[in-house]
Structure 1
Amino acid sequence: MAKPNVVTKQELLQAAQMCLAEKGIEKTTLKAVADKANVSQGTVFYHFRTKEQLMLELVQSLCDSSWQALQTSRGSVEEALEAAKERCDYNSAYHRLFFTSLAASLSLKPNRDRLGAMIRQENVYLSEVLAARWGMSPIRQISMEHWGILMNALIDGLAVQALLDEEFPKDAVFDALQHLFDYISSGVDS
């Protein structure tokens, strides 16, 4: 029997995350989340009107916890790359969720705007991480803001490749990416 409707949004997001891990994105429904959280479907509907909204909230929650962990540990380029590497995998639930939400959101302006805001927030954070490392851009023609955008796009592009290629050489590619940032950091190319 479902428990009374005293469940937090965060608890529902945790139930959704478990559903995703067990059932995959396609079979994760508002009803499946309600069953996993042992609440009525109406309770889930109260917090999330659609599966797309639930997925967006879950992506936001995952992004927020990832950035909070980096900020708590005084995030560095190395820590940001390591966190990205850990999520970069053929079976990555995080990136499957993110890119599925992204695709579904392209036709829904509020969702599209929200994902766009999340990506802009990541860009700003990455710019701050790089500024803390470098002080200023090692290449005058590239602003720190643009470095953050480039790093975010590079990492997201690697995630797409890993999702599509079971043989993706994740360790070697992230080692190469670390060497690239070390090289840029050395100021050799400025």
Structure 2
Amino acid sequence: MGDMTTTPASAPAPAPAPKQDRSRATRRRLLEAAVACLAERGWQGSTVSVVAERAGVSRGAAQHHFRTREDLFLAAVEYVAEERSQALRALDGRSRAEVVEALVALYTGPLFRAALHLWVAASDEPQLRPRVTELEARVGREAHRMAVELLGADESVPGVRETVQGLLDMARGLGLATLLTDDAPRRARVVAQWSRLLDGALG
């Protein structure tokens, strides 16, 4: 009797990702590349072509998603701000010290560095200034709202609102210091002291 074994059929090729999913993935790569370029190269060194190359897409694909350079970078900072907000929401129920550390981290990473380059550019670019001002105000309001919620702060008590805003202003100052030197040990002491101050001020 002859050999009855048969060669198994090759597995079907995986179905290509839907066009909408590919488009979302491309947009995400562009936004992440834009933040990284802005943090590393600054405004002058971050062109659409540079971002597209880093994201591994064509310049045409980048311009399909973002009509102008300003659109791209504003969307990038807003995207990462939302990503960080989601990370903060996961802190619900954590200690005040952990919340303070997470809030400070918002201002000591690549998002803050990228945002700072946008602020500097906006000071010299009249067409960019109102859009950056509006974005910064929106991000700032959201950061304050989340800080109040996570810290369990009652802003009807006199001075509490200013205490929370002072925390965010302090975090921004630490972020500026971090741009030039790694001051992690000093920053840790400042953060610990703010946690103690908040415990006394917020009860």
**TM band (smaller chain):** 0.7 to 0.9
SS at match of 1:28: coil
Which range moves more in the overlay, 154-163 or 98-107? 98-107
SS at match of 1:7: helix
Q: Partner of 2:56 in structure 1?
A: 38
Note the 1:2-151 alignment, pairs <5 A.
Answer: 6-8=22-24, 9-19=27-37, 24-25=41-42, 26-74=44-92, 76-86=95-105, 92-106=109-123, 107=126, 108-130=129-151, 132=152, 134=153, 136=154, 140-144=157-161, 146-151=162-167
Q: How far apart are residue 153 of structure 1 and its match? A: 1.2
The 1:177/1:32 distance shift into structure 2, 3 A limit, reads: same
* Structure 1, gaps ≥5 residues long: none
Q: When the two structures are aligned, how many residues end up with a matched partner?
A: 176
Residue identity in the other structure for 2:146: Y
**1:154 and 2:170 correspond:** yes
Name segments (4+ residues, structure 1) moved above 6 Å.
Answer: none
SS at match of 2:23: coil
TM-score for the superposition, normalised by structure 1: 0.74
Match of 2:187 among 154, 173, 189: 173
CA RMSD of aligned residues (A): 3.1
Q: How far apart are residue 44 of structure 1 and its match? A: 1.1
Which is higher, the Rg of structure 1 or of structure 2?
2
TM-score for the superposition, normalised by structure 2: 0.70
Residue identity in the other structure for 2:130: K
Percent identity among equivalent residues?
21
The 1:113/1:17 distance shift into structure 2, 3 A limit, reads: closer
Separation in 2, partners of 1:78, 1:121: 20
